[in-house]
Amino acid sequence: MIPNWLLQRAYLTPDRMALSFGENQWTFRQLSEKAATIARKLRWNGLNEGDRIALLGRSTPEMVFVIHGCLLAGLEIVMLNSRLSSKEISWQLNDCGASTLIADDEFIDHIREVSTPKLLFSAIEISETKPVTFTEMWEPSRTITIMYTSGTTGFPKGVRQTAGNHTSSALSSVLNLGLSEDDIWLCTMPLFHISGFSILARSVIYGMGVRLYEKFDAESIVEEIEKGTVTRISVVATGLHRILDEFEKNRSVAHPSFQSMLAGGGPVPDDYLRRAVLYRLPVLQTYGMTETSSQTATLSSEDALRKSGSAGKPLFFNRITIRDAEQPGEFGEVLVMGPHVTPGYIGHASDREPLEDGWLSTGDIGYIDEEGYLFIVDRRSDLIISGGENIYPAEIENVLMSHPDVKEAGVCGVTHPEWGSVPVAFIVGDEHLTELDLEEYCNQQLGRYKVPKAFHFVDELPRNASNKLLRRELKEWALDK
């Protein structure tokens, strides 16, 4: 059995800071009181324990209160991506079968045509209350959140995440990172995404404060890190790049109290890692996915420089292997096992078994070196096979990103009559940068078959809500060139 996170935390450390946003902050007692009130209002609106609802909101304190209110009320929460189109939201609502869509008033125009019954935040605020008996102990198998995958191929799948999944993920993370009473996690990741929600889960399990930002603001983030008002943050490569640029502009370094910057969402270019050292930013690459309730592997701090580019070793309760690999260094599909792995899907994918003999097939290509460290090479679906040679877009992107005039790079494969497929690159860079510059640069560092056959200059790259590069959209762009 698992203690109800918020009830237990409010009992253990009621006066410790739980959440801050702008100039406002709330203790765990205050967070619990607000969540309990919302739970009672949800019950008055006819939502009962075990019901499945969908939630659409921004990364605001009100969203945090509603999330915890739903958990106290015993609801299954389908976390909707606020950046989806109205059509995509309708599809997910139909697929998950949510009885009610709870939504921030900011999205009223976006969901006007949605047929699912709606309950706006403002309506909850003015609702009456009805008594609720809160479940003090959760079954580990209890589904508490459902998140749809990015849908790199076909339709997205609704992933079940249980109390046991989230709790084991949080415990594994803290055994790797450590914990101090002074820890404050700066959350700029969307709360509907596993990277954002997992920070809220860690907060109540650890008794750790969260400094919440609605949107990524590199200037403010760097100011917080410089002053020592936060100790940890989660980022993706693009966010890290903007933070490094800001430190460079300020000619400053991180406060000595700053502990770690977890970098996920794909490989971090080596150039970023080298620059981070200059500003005293401990960047720890991490690997995880929606199906694993956040982290599966994370590089420990003592190995951050020695194993640059690695996602580390599996966290304490987890296991990782490479399909069909017979010796260290062999590339193959990454397989994952552990109590953090989803028990299954909902909706159209509900009959799909996620595990093979207890192992989750991730769809990622990687290898484990002779010391047991995991390196992620690319998505299996993004693999380019050119003349029988395997080409991994992330390898080419890493080289391109090391060019001083390249801000962002995305690589995909296009059909070629002779080689089957060849790589092409999309670049966000300085105005004076030319295709010839990049071709010569790549020729110095890559085998000729890996050098992109075309370089397209664009204003921005297609990314999803968690800032992951959408290579399937790059392929569509390439068709139009």
pLDDT at position 349, please? 92
In the block, which residue shows the tokens 């420089």?
305
Distance CA 270, CA 266 (A): 12
Contact in structure between 172 and 288 (CB atoms under 8 Å): no
Q: Which residues pair with 137 in a beta bridge?
A: 3
Confidence of residue 234 (pLDDT cuts 50, 70, 90): very high
pLDDT at position 365, please? 86
User: What's the whole-number mean pLDDT along residues 396-407?
Assistant: 90
Distance CA 323, CA 338 (A): 16
* 75 contacts: CB under 8 Å, gap ≥ 6: 42, 47, 49, 50, 51, 52, 53
Distance CA 163, CA 201 (A): 10
Q: pLDDT: is 143 or 449 the higher one?
A: 143
Task: Provide the token pair at 316.
Answer: 């304490």
Q: pLDDT: is 469 or 360 the higher one?
A: 360
Confidence of residue 267 (pLDDT cuts 50, 70, 90): low
Distance CA 78, CA 154 (A): 20
DSSP state of 228: T
User: What's the whole-number mean pLDDT along residues 15-39?
Assistant: 98
- Other CB atoms within a 10 A radius of the CB of residue 37 amount to 17
Distance CA 191, CA 79 (A): 8
- Other CB atoms within a 10 A radius of the CB of residue 402 amount to 16
Residue 423 three-state SS: strand
Task: Please give the share of the chain, as a percent, with pLDDT higher than 70.
Answer: 97
Mean pLDDT of the chain: 92
Confidence of residue 466 (pLDDT cuts 50, 70, 90): low
User: What's the whole-number mean pLDDT along residues 247-264?
Assistant: 94
User: What's the whole-number mean pLDDT along residues 436-463?
Assistant: 90
Torsion angle of C-alpha atoms 218, 219, 221, 227, degrees rounded to 10: 150
Max intra-chain CA distance, the chain: 70
pLDDT at position 152, please? 44
Contact in structure between 407 and 426 (CB atoms under 8 Å): no
**What H or E segment, with its residue span, contains residue 76?**
strand 76-79
Contact in structure between 292 and 342 (CB atoms under 8 Å): yes
Residue 464 three-state SS: coil
- Model confidence pLDDT, tens digit, residues 103-158: 999 999 999 989 999 999 999 999 999 999 999 999 999 999 999 986 444 578 99
Contact in structure between 88 and 110 (CB atoms under 8 Å): no
**What H or E segment, with its residue span, contains residue 333?**
strand 332-337
Domains of the chain: 2-138 (3.40.50.980), 165-380 (3.40.50.12780), 383-480 (3.30.300.30)
Contact in structure between 70 and 145 (CB atoms under 8 Å): no
Inter-residue long-range contacts of 352-361, CB under 8 Å, 24+ positions, other chains counted: 352/157, 354/291, 359/321, 359/335, 360/291, 360/292, 360/335, 360/336, 361/323, 361/333, 361/335
pLDDT at position 153, please? 45
Task: Provide the token pair at 416.
Answer: 């070629």
Distance CA 27, CA 20 (A): 9
Distance CA 268, CA 193 (A): 20
Contact in structure between 362 and 333 (CB atoms under 8 Å): yes
Distance CA 115, CA 117 (A): 6
pLDDT for 385 beyond 90:
no
* 118 contacts: CB under 8 Å, gap ≥ 6: 100, 101, 102, 103, 111
Distance CA 377, CA 253 (A): 31
* 381 contacts: CB under 8 Å, gap ≥ 6: 152, 153, 363
Contact in structure between 116 and 93 (CB atoms under 8 Å): yes
Distance CA 304, CA 277 (A): 10
pLDDT for 102 beyond 70:
yes
pLDDT at position 301, please? 65
Which DSSP string corresponds to 136-166? SEE-TT-EEEEEE---SSSS--EEEEEHHHH
What pTM was computed for the model?
0.84
Distance CA 425, CA 79 (A): 33
Q: In angstroms, what is the C-alpha Rg of the chain?
A: 23
In the block, which residue shows the tokens 């509900």?
350
φ, ψ dihedrals at 151, nearest 5° = 75, 50
475-to-9, 422, 437, 462 alpha-carbon distances in Å: 47, 12, 23, 11
154-to-157, 348, 349, 360 alpha-carbon distances in Å: 9, 12, 11, 19
Q: How many CA atoms lie within 13 A of 259 on its CB side?
A: 19
pLDDT for 305 beyond 80:
no
Distance CA 57, CA 76 (A): 16
